[in-house]
Structure 1
């Protein structure tokens, strides 16, 4: 959006002024490498430090405004072919401290599989918009991940997050920091056990600031300082995100379709299109895809309903994503707790994610052929059982007849008895009627 471009230019100007103040304060603590205030990681400015300066606590990191969601699609071509089966048993990984990525894209935290499930949250910690009580409520609701920018009190956030069992995606704003600033920010937070990843670029495919090359340069700069944590980027244009698959370790795909009245594809089914496109682009590089999903309302538009939120969440899971980060808990214009329907809807999903996490992380996944891009289904074989989920992304009822990809025996049991169900299993197929935007999740016995 043109508005976002204007905002970014304003942030750049503001960031330059703030950066001068930051540098003055930081010089009292440590002498940084020479810097001419050039934009982050421009080829002319790249240097390889022989030794890192001391990592004294910064006195004032740039107060970057929260980015506004974009997710501007261009056109909606046919959904890519279903992803082939992935079997966690065939993946290999070495248990080691820090965060690594298994061959199947699963994140490993100190060697243990981890499914990130949480929010983006942009205000500074220990302010009215983001209190320690806010963090405690997020943890108590069952969420385990928070995407939060590095601010001047980040160690306090890290300490409280670690105590509550929350992992942090630490966002760096490269358009506000030169190389020495990025190095200093990373060195300041890299050794804390709450750290999950570094978010090094947002809206990478907007065509306004980033290119695959300069994002890769930021990635290389981060790796000079910390090779124990992955880098993370996020984009919103499915047709272009593939250009950035080699620019970072983890790629997130945004889909925020509800309420975008000017766009003819403002439908829940955009989630399946966006994520299946991203998954197809990631496959040659074994890049994990994380879903950035909508838990907010566009300005002057309605908020997503609980049914839409659950449907979009399961569309992501059915595409075999490696985590989900909702936008947003709080940003400059949205506070989730002021919208109880949305807040309750995402909280209601945490028991389901907790129940499914071992299946999602270590089950053998197969996308199922439904004959429609708006009917999304998949199965996971796990511990001699077959878990099957189906999402009707249409805004009207449908009749389905979905063949399973491997032998199974009944009885067919709903996994969540308080949620919609009613399909039957006969002759290797799930059949029956699903209401608009329903999601069904079942478990059967897997046959050898």
Structure 2
């Protein structure tokens, strides 16, 4: 995932880069059906303490209490020991930096509360000392997906607590066949059968590359719409495809989300911009609502980008850490239910966890408020309680078993509803 180009250029540049297709359908409200009338508001959002708070679940940081326990994949979810793990962090294209920079950035990510990063070996000398980096990551309680470790070195690292797994192929559907990715994964499994393997690809609405799912234990799927011209709502579509294919294969779906500017990448439109903080927040919860089991942003650092050059985006992603720490038990411990909204620009996902129901609403329009009409009869809602202070905008209310009103552009609202 070094460089990423729009799909129209992917064929000619396939050996060097990959990207997000630009010709997929844009989500639109359902046409031909009468717009339902929003119900009369009767229940305002409750601001009291929610059940997640009362359960004493973590309010900040995603470091697992079982850090250092064996990492495995169970039922399409990562586990550290017996505890489910939601990896949340960044790509780090380390071979474009130095060992000192890689360690510095790892410590900064850990200090911000992230629990996972990718990292790569820089050269043969670095390979010989890579275990020292993993030891430093363990002290910071950071998990690492490593790339480029030489076969003679990898077996010496398998007992390092920081090892989350091994990245065996990047931009994989542009550079390899599914059989080749499988072979690369098998070669790593022969060296270390105790840790998961990981690869990353891009999909299109027309071809989700299902044959690649199952070639590794975890599969990353990219959504980088700001710049190539895709709608921001393509993130939900791409990650839903990834989740469906992962469920069929038993692999862990990881969202690779945009935190870089195409405009800094050579050969691309220099006017392309960085996503705004609101767009990054919205894309993150689109992916969560699609059912992913982890998020890695591209990128903390490569030769052309650093998220730290965009303070607004950096502060935004840091602010998401305690939110995901709070809801990750729900995301990992319950199956998502995808609800009908009668509006292609509004997505609604519910989870029933430990006797309570949680609802995520996202508006993928970046310009217009959208009508919300979500029947919740089967979920038996009794209240509308925002989970994250300061995030929820007004406009959505509960009338009996129906949720209605309007959702602001790029809003992503998480509620407890009973």
TM-score range, shorter chain: 0.7 to 0.9
Q: 3-state DSSP class of the match of 2:262?
A: coil
Q: CA deviation at 1:337?
A: 1.2
**Hey, what's the Cα distance between the residues in 1 that align with 2:157 and 2:193?**
13
1:441 to 411, 414, 418: 414
Q: Secondary structure in 1 aligned to 2:324? A: helix
User: 5 Å matches for 1:137-216?
Assistant: 137-151=108-122, 152=126, 153-172=129-148, 181=150, 183-206=151-174, 209-216=175-182
Q: Does the CA contact (< 8 Å) of 2:20 and 2:222 recur in 1?
A: no
Distance in 1 between the 2:148 and 2:393 partners? 44
* CA–CA distance in structure 2, aligned partners of residues 71 and 403 of structure 1: 37
3-state DSSP of counterpart to 1:284:
helix
Q: Which moved more, 1:348-357 or 1:127-136?
A: 127-136
Provide the secondary structure at the position in 1 that maps to 2:292: coil
Name the counterpart of 1:278.
Answer: 242
- Matched residue SS, 1:253: strand
Do residues 370 (structure 1) and 341 (structure 2) align?
yes
Q: 1:99 aligns with which of 58, 64, 71?
A: 71
Match of residue 51 from structure 1: none
Which residue number in structure 2 is paired with residue 44 of structure 1?
A: none
Within 1, Cα distance between the matches of 2:214 and 2:335?
Answer: 26
Offset at residue 133 of structure 1 (A): 3.6
Partner of 2:393: 421
Judge conservation of contact 2:240–2:291 (CA < 8 Å) in 1. no
1:244 lines up with 2:212 in the alignment: yes
- Counterpart of 2:313 in structure 1 is 342
Contact (CA 8 Å) 1:100, 1:111: kept in 2 or not? no
- Contact kept? 2:26, 2:233, Cα under 8 Å: no
CA change 1:75–1:428 in 2 (3 A) is: same
- C-alpha offsets along residues 271-295 of structure 1, whole Å, 9 cap, x if unaligned? 0111112222223222221000001
Indicate if the aligned counterparts of 1:120 and 1:148 stay in contact, CA closer than 8 A: yes
Deviates more, 1:375-384 or 1:276-285: 276-285
Change (3 A) 1:355 1:215: same
Q: Secondary structure at the match of 1:418?
A: coil
Contact 1:148 1:171 (8 Å CA) reproduced? yes
TM-score, length basis structure 2: 0.79
- Residues 145 and 167, structure 2, Cα contact 8 Å, conserved in 1: yes
**Alpha carbons of structure 1 residues 128 and 286: separation in structure 2 relative to 1, 3 Å:** closer
* Secondary structure at 1:205 match in 2: helix
- 8 Å Cα contact 2:285/2:412 also seen in 1: yes
The CA deviation at 1:376 is: 1.4
126 and 274 in structure 1: CA distance in 2 versus 1, 3 angstrom threshold: closer
**3-state DSSP class of the match of 1:430?**
strand
Normalised by the length of structure 1, the TM-score is 0.74
Whole-Å Cα distance in 2 between the matches of residues 71 and 408 of structure 1? 42
Q: In the aligned structure 2, how far is the partner of 1:408 from the partner of 1:415?
A: 18
Aligned to 2:30: none
1:333 is the counterpart of 2:281: no
Deviations 1:362-400 (A, max 9, x none): 134211112233211101111221110100001211011
Q: Deviation at 1:405?
A: 6.3
Question: SS where residue 382 of structure 2 aligns?
Answer: strand
Deviation of 1:338 after TM superposition, in Å, equals: 1.7
Please state how far the C-alpha of 1:78 moved relative to its aligned partner: 8.6
| Structure 1 residues not aligned, in runs of 5+ | 10-66, 80-95, 174-180
Report if the CA contact (8 A) 2:393-2:408 is conserved: no
- Give 1:128 deviation, angstroms: 8.2
CA RMSD of aligned residues (A): 2.5
For residues 223-280 of structure 1, what are the alpha-carbon distances to aligned partners after superposition, in whole Å with 9 as ceiling and x for unaligned?
11111111111111231421201311111100000122xx4xx221010111112222
Paired with 1:156 and 1:5, the residues of 2 have a C-alpha distance of 39
Q: Secondary structure at the match of 2:417?
A: strand
The secondary structure found in structure 2 opposite 1:130 is helix
Q: How does 1:386-397 map to 2 (within 5 A)?
A: 386-395=357-366, 396-397=368-369
Residue number in structure 2 paired with 1:35 = none
Counterpart position of 1:223: 189
Question: In 2, are the aligned partners of 1:123 and 1:129 still within 8 Å (CA)?
Answer: no
- 1:78 and 1:339 map into 2 onto residues whose CA distance is 28
Which one scores higher on RCO, CA 8 angstroms, separation ≥ 6? 2
Q: How far is the alpha carbon of 1:5 from its aligned partner?
A: 8.2
Q: Please name the residue that 1:83 is paired with.
A: none
Query: By how many angstroms is 1:116 displaced?
Result: 0.1
CA contact (8 A) 1:118 1:144 kept: yes
Q: Which has the larger radius of gyration?
A: 1
Task: Please give the alpha-carbon distance, in whole angstroms, between the structure 1 residues aligned to 2:108 and 2:251.
Answer: 32
State the aligned residue count.
356
Quickly say closer, same or farther: Cα 1:286–1:429, change in 2 above 3 A: farther
The SS at the match of 1:401 is strand
Deviation at 1:4, TM superposition (A): 7.9
CA–CA separation in structure 1 for the residues paired with 2:12 and 2:417? 53
Number of the residue aligned with 1:62? none
